[in-house]
Amino acid sequence: MLGYSWVTSRLIIFSRNQITGWLFFLTQFLGVDFSLSQTINIEQSRLLYSISPVYDFKRGIVSITFDDGYSSQFGLGLRALNRFNFPATLYLVSDFIDSAKAIELKRNLPFEHEIGSHSKHHYHLKSIENNCLIEEIYGSSYQLEKLLERRVLTFAYPWGEFNQNIKSTVAKFYIASRSANLGYYWLDRIDYYGLKVQAFNQGVESRTADKWVDFAIKNRCWLVEMIHGLEGNGYLPLDSADFVSHLEYINEKKDDLWVATVSDVIKYVSEASKTKVSCINCSDSLYYLTIVDELNDSIYNQEISIEFRIPDDWQQVNVLGAELFKIKYSGGNSFALINVLPSENPITIEPKSFKELVSHNNIRWVYQGQNPFVDKIRVAIYLPKVDDISVNLIAFNGAVLVQGYQSNVAGDVEIFLPTSSLPEG
């Protein structure tokens, strides 16, 4: 089902006029001639944008999670996190939270941090009956929400133990659950109810954890760190100096990292996969469009990041209804990068100043689909005149894996390369 990662494959384009080029999938939007002379319809609009795999156009993600609710987490842990404005997910055992602790948390725990469920009593879930299983899983979130007056959306399996029946039960009440299995997640193949972790516990030095961060950035994936106690308090307590040093390293990499709670990452991935962009009125002087995801807004309220290809003469841009992240110039093209919460409300992107156009007359790259991909690669190429085009996916050993071909085409040409039959790798 899963195709080759774009980082580990190459694309080669041939045309009759012998213009040939190697393109590495690691790049984004290499460039295209773009000159609008008429209104764009809904079918054409899909070539105008790409949704970033990671919020805020970052390269990797890290989520910091705490288990069990030890006092060191609420004290030393939160003080260190708040110093860098990093949110965390705290998986609490609901019966361990008395009314006094609940009052303290409501007063002192910023809403940027997520409260997750770690069951009601921290039992071995595989050993209890189904009716008790529901009480352990759902009863915990009900109790936490009542005590702390905030939504509980994700779950962590006590002892890291689960089976298909436990996963199915959790899926009825939560949007995701975290395991204790080691690993990372690529955003196109997330097991929502078996999220893997890297265990940052006693005996793990900060430089080891720092390498996890480097891996997430390099491979554009999601790192979930699991921490229990700190400074002698709790299960396998982590040395506080290592914890703080690691946070300092994450802070150094913040230009490439989205530091987010587990629920916010799940929301982002879910919304990005469901988002539809439709042009109400798009032309060379205005983009008036809607961005919707058809998900429950009371849960899925995370902004997503979208890169819009805009006419080359739009030098400065006004955006209404969304946040303009920046204007990017790449390969002779212009792009408006925005963060927006999908909703029924239209947004407007329009020029407020113009620049002199430079003519481009060669084959140019228009669009690449989601990276990494699942069962197909979607690309679009610009041809300045009628021609034949061949697009090949080639492994580093030279083997042609997939070929796409179209004849007698011009302008923006969209090609799909099926990859479902390729092995993972």
What domains does the chain contain, in order, with CATH numbers?
6-57+270-418 (no CATH), 60-255 (3.20.20.370)
The answer to whether the pTM exceeds 0.85 is no
Q: What is the 3-state secondary structure (H, E, C) of 161-203?
A: CCCHHHHHHHHCCCCEEEEEEECCECCCCCCCCCEEEEECCCC
Give me the pLDDT at residue 9, please. 39
Q: Which two tokens stand for residue 229?
A: 């106690």
pLDDT in tens, 232-261: 888 999 999 999 999 999 999 999 999 999
Q: Say if CB 182 and CB 195 are below 8 A apart.
A: no
Give me the pLDDT at residue 78, please. 93
Q: Say if CB 60 and CB 257 are below 8 A apart.
A: yes
Give me the pLDDT at residue 377, please. 75
Q: Say if CB 280 and CB 292 are below 8 A apart.
A: no
Give me the pLDDT at residue 35, please. 39
Give me the pLDDT at residue 33, please. 36
For residue 306, give the H/E element and its range: strand 304-310
The b-or-e profile of 75-90 (16+ CB within 10 A means b, else e) is ebbbebbeeeebbbbb
For residue 216, give the H/E element and its range: helix 206-219
Give me the pLDDT at residue 40, please. 55
- Give the residue ranges of the chain where pLDDT is below 70: 1-46, 331-332, 356-374, 395-398, 424-425
- CA 254, distance to chain mean position in Å, is 15
**Residue 103, helix vs strand vs coil:** helix
Find residue 282's DSSP bridge partners.
Answer: 40, 287
User: ω into residue 372 within 30 of 0, thus cis?
Assistant: yes
Give me the pLDDT at residue 386, please. 78
Give CA–CA dist 217/256, Å, rounded: 7
Burial class (CB in 10 A: 0-12, 13-18, 19+), 132: middle
For tokens 């030393």, what's the residue?
76
Give me the pLDDT at residue 39, please. 54
Give me the pLDDT at residue 333, please. 78
Give CA–CA dist 90/153, Å, rounded: 12
Give me the pLDDT at residue 233, please. 86
The one-letter amino acid at 30:
L
Q: Say if CB 54 and CB 77 are below 8 A apart.
A: no
Percent of the chain clearing pLDDT 90 (strictly above): 60
pLDDT in tens, 273-315: 999 999 999 888 899 999 999 899 999 999 999 999 998 888 8
